[in-house]
Structure 1
Amino acid sequence: MKVLSSVRSCAAASGDDVIQRIGFTIGALLLYRLGCNIPIPGIDPVAWQSLFGGLQGVANAGNFFGGNASARISLFALTIIPYITAAFFIQFVVLASRRVRARAEDSGVAGRRMIVRVTLALTLLLAAFQAIGLANAMQQVTGLVTWQGPAFIVTATIIWCAGVLALVWLAEQITARGFGNGISWLLFATAAAELPTALATSIEMVRLGVLSGRTAFLLLLVVVAIVAWVVMVELARRNFSVERIDGKGRADLNLKLNPSGIAPQLLAGWAMLVPVSLLPWVWQFVSQEQAVAIVQAMRPGSAIYYVCLALCLIVTSVIYTAFLLDPARLAERLRVLGLSLPGVAPGEPTADAFDHSVSRLSLAGALYLVLVIVGTQVFFASLGLPFAIGGFALLVVVSTVLDLRAQYASYSGGERL
């Protein structure tokens, strides 16, 4: 009886801990959404809303990640993307350089702290680059900035960089004290914030007769089909049967069909934002007509925009997967564990076998991302609707839900034990 009471007490304590973590997560997300609606000083909101409607190709690239944070030029207008980009870049360096990787691993806690400090420094550098470019570009628009000069650039840069660091801290707090991964939750809140608006817009269009009920129903079926496809691909695995070198056991090695996840879209999205930061310097060397032509060419719906986005997705997906699933490292890991592929000698032959499979996985993952992200944009743009449910939003929502499902399953299994 005492043992049973202890088990029940532990279960109750675990349940209370989960509730507290969920409550903390909800509170942190509400704080994030509040910051997305607080504009920075020095901006005429009427002039910005008018300009935002005319620069969909550039401004919406930032709003694509910001959940209207960029549309309002808020404290969190740069979102957490600079930090994610910096973290991916540092990860690339660690994976690509054996010397850096060995130093980070051999240093233990000190090595991890060094990586954290370098990541934060690079985050500030990227955020400052974007902030200065965006502030400069805004000052070029007549009537948009209420007080001109270096003071506005410095103020806006400090606020936006502080906003990025605040989001990094908030994500860390959610991971440590909340339920789930903090960065995933911030991306989830960003993506999910646009879904109610799209739903309300479609309902209003049906009510006014602009959109027929049949068309709305078909759109719903298309969205459900895309979500089902994304779930199927995200859960798909490429299985490798491995066996002990001494022949006394077998196991399975599972690799995701889309091993890069949403990382290529984040990197590609940041790459699409780089021209925004370069516009002030470009305007110094081109005429106003040429600058307008550049902005128009970057508008979603243009062929150049879709081609550039697709190329960025393919390149980042292939490169990231190649570094993430390095065949040589996989083969070495199997050798250290005393495992090998059936009928394949350890070492270089195993690495060659993995290289063939990883190359096919990276290509399949890249094409999948292009179809989901670029394909959905082309689909909604062809319908001429005033809203669009982006493939990136669907990927983020599905990935976050699947991660939470896995975490809850792990927690439930641990509690049963």
Structure 2
Amino acid sequence: MKKFFTTLSNIWKIEDLRVRIINTLLFLLIYRVGAFVRLPGVDASQTDAKQAEGLVGLLNMFAGGSFSRISIFALGVMPYISASIVMQLLGIAVPYFAKMQKEGESGRNKINQWTRYLTIVITAVQAVAYLNSQVTANEILIANPMFTIMNTMVLTAGTLFVMWLGEKITDKGIGNGISLIIMVGIIATLPSAFLAEFQNRTTGTGGLIAFIVELIALIGVVMFTILIVQGTRKIAVQYAKRIVGNKQYGGVRQYIPLKVNAAGVMPIIFAQALMFIPATIASFFPKAATNSIIIALGDYNSWLHNILFALLIIVFTYFYTAITVNPKQMSDDMKKNGGFIPGVKPGLPTESFIDGVISKITLPGSIFLAIIAIIPSLANLVGVNNLFARFFGGTSLIILVGVVLDTLQQIESHLLMRHYDGLMKTGRVKGRSAVPAAAGTTPTAI
């Protein structure tokens, strides 16, 4: 406990770090206040009792309850995340955007500008769909055409403002702003989920013992998730020795840390998108809604749904790792800098060696990621309420663990730069952004 208070004191002594933390908290406070401001023309009394389930429930969790509350921040940063993913895929498939990614700072500025434009388009489309699907006629207080036009503009402006807050947090605060906004939205639902589960256990089945067992299981899942997020396979790289004048350069051994889960949370997001196709088909074809397979695929607790979900996650983990980690570029960069892997010839053998290592570590990483993704369904089967079960795994838990580790790593870096002790007595806090420089990729916001 003394170490904890000493660390807090050291953090407060560093003026730059103190200002950044205060700025971050103020920006996040602005976001949370805006999450309770409802859209103009909406009857607030009709929206309080709305419950969000399925994909809507997941989006509502990311938006901190704004989605079901019909707030001006209802769409949150998800349109921006979608635009970022599209631009990342375009950078792989379209030569024009691939060339732009290699232009350094100017190229990144152009890509960011394109991402903002695409965010406006995606937000406008999603805003119309959101107003038509989530706002019923009895909740609208003004004429419908004007209501849709006005609130499409309001929702678009709200998303752009949230995106601006995220950029300000990144520049003036601590940590990745977009990731922190998503994390705050997820944490905002934790107290109500915790209280609901406590009441459910104490007044229903299981009692207090079952609730304590659930908390122990949750801690175990969090620890398991941290192992997956931080797990790396280090490849030794030896650099050739060079003599320039009277000085020696190179001749040192470094390591390329290849992450066990290089794809992050993206495979779960892609797999979830595909798993909602049966429900979409059923909405257009009423007769298909009675099909037993369609019903099983739409049931989050069914074995068919979870087995297919896990298989899709494994496939998408390999796919996303293949398009984001480039062994050829890593091999070329090592060769240009005079580096080589001991026992492996430069060039194609090095590329094949790195590709083989990635393939080997991706399999256990994808299996573990699939296990984390289906744990919420398993928690539901043993009686955990749906809202609290989401914290046992899936997208929300991976985002929480990754963002917390990244933020703690940045705080520790500020402490070590000023010659203070780190956050831990032994070892260092490792964030999820430890991506090899030769990989030629930048970690996404989530």
Query: Is the shorter-chain TM-score for this pair beyond 0.5, marking a shared fold?
Result: yes
Equivalent in the alignment of 2:68: 71
Q: Identify which of 112, 122, 129 aligns with 1:126.
A: 122
Q: Which residue of 2 aligns with 1:5?
A: none
Work out whether residues 11 and 18 of structure 2, in 8 Å CA contact, stay in contact via their aligned partners in 1: no
Q: 1-side partners of 2:47 and 2:290: how far apart?
A: 19
1:322 correspondence with 2:325: no
Which residue in 1 is equivalent to 2:91? 94
The answer (yes or no) to whether the contact 2:229–2:402 under 8 Å persists in 1 is yes
1:238-257 aligned at under 5 Å gives the runs 238-244=233-239, 248-257=251-260
Match of 2:151 among 149, 156, 162: 156
Residue 15 (structure 1) shift: 1.2
Give the corresponding residue for 2:19.
Answer: 20
Equivalent position of 1:181 in the other structure: 176
Structure 2 CA distance, aligned partners of 1:101 and 1:58?
32
- Out of 201, 219, 223, which is 2:196 matched to? 201
**What is the CA–CA distance in structure 2 between the aligned matches of 1:275 and 1:62, rounded to whole Å?**
18
Equivalent pairs counted in the alignment come to 399
C-alpha distance after superposition, 1:88-119 (max 9, x if no partner): 2212322455553334433x443222111111
Shift of 1:299: 5.8
Distance 2:397 2:368 in 1: 13
**Partner letter of residue 167 of structure 1?**
V
Distance 1:203 1:388, change over 3 A: closer
Letter in 1 for 2:227: M
1:404/1:13 CA distance change after superposition, 3 Å: closer
Q: For residues 238 and 313 of structure 1, what CA distance do their matches in structure 2 show?
A: 21
Distance in 2, Cα, partners of 1:291 & 1:149: 34
The Cα of 1:296 is off from its aligned counterpart by 10
Give me the whole-angstrom Cα distance separating, in 1, the residues matched to 2:72 and 2:160: 11
- Give the structure 2 partner of residue 358 of structure 1: 358
Counterpart of 1:411 in structure 2 is: 414
Residue 261 (structure 2) aligns with: 258
Q: 1: distance between equivalents of 2:268 and 2:217?
A: 22
Instruction: Go from structure 1 to structure 2 and tell me whether the alpha carbon gap of 1:46 and 1:274 turns closer, same or farther (over 3 Å shift).
Output: farther
Residue ranges of structure 1 left out of the alignment (5+ in a row):
1-10
- The more displaced of 168-177 and 394-403 is 394-403
2:86 maps to amino acid: F
Query: In 2, Cα distance between the equivalents of 1:365 and 1:44?
Result: 47
Whichever structure has more helix as a proportion of its residues is: 1
Q: Give the drift of 1:196.
A: 1.4
Q: Deviations over 1:28-63 (max 9, x none)?
A: 11111112222213334454455x43x623421321
TM-score by length of 1: 0.83
Residues 191/382 of structure 1: CA separation in 2 closer, same or farther (3 Å cut) = same
Q: 1:235 to 1:287 in 2, by over 3 A?
A: closer
- Farther off after superposition, 171-180 or 96-105: 96-105
Question: Aligned with 1:64: secondary structure?
Answer: helix
Q: Post-superposition shift, 1:339?
A: 1.2
Matched residue type, 1:407: Q
- TM-score w.r.t. length of structure 2: 0.78
Aligned to 1:215: 210
- The CA deviation at 1:209 is 4.7
Shift of 1:25: 0.8
Q: Which residue of 1 aligns with 2:187?
A: 192
Measured after TM superposition, the shift of residue 270 of structure 1 is: 6.1
| Shift in alpha-carbon separation, 1:12–1:288, aligned structure 2, 3 A | closer
- The farther-off stretch of 262-271 and 210-219 is 262-271
Q: Percent sequence identity over matched residues?
A: 27
How many Å separate the matches in 2 of 1:174 and 1:198?
Answer: 28
Structure 2 stretches of 5 or more lacking a match?
1-9, 242-249, 421-446
Q: Give the conservation status (yes or no) of the 8 Å contact 1:70–1:78.
A: yes
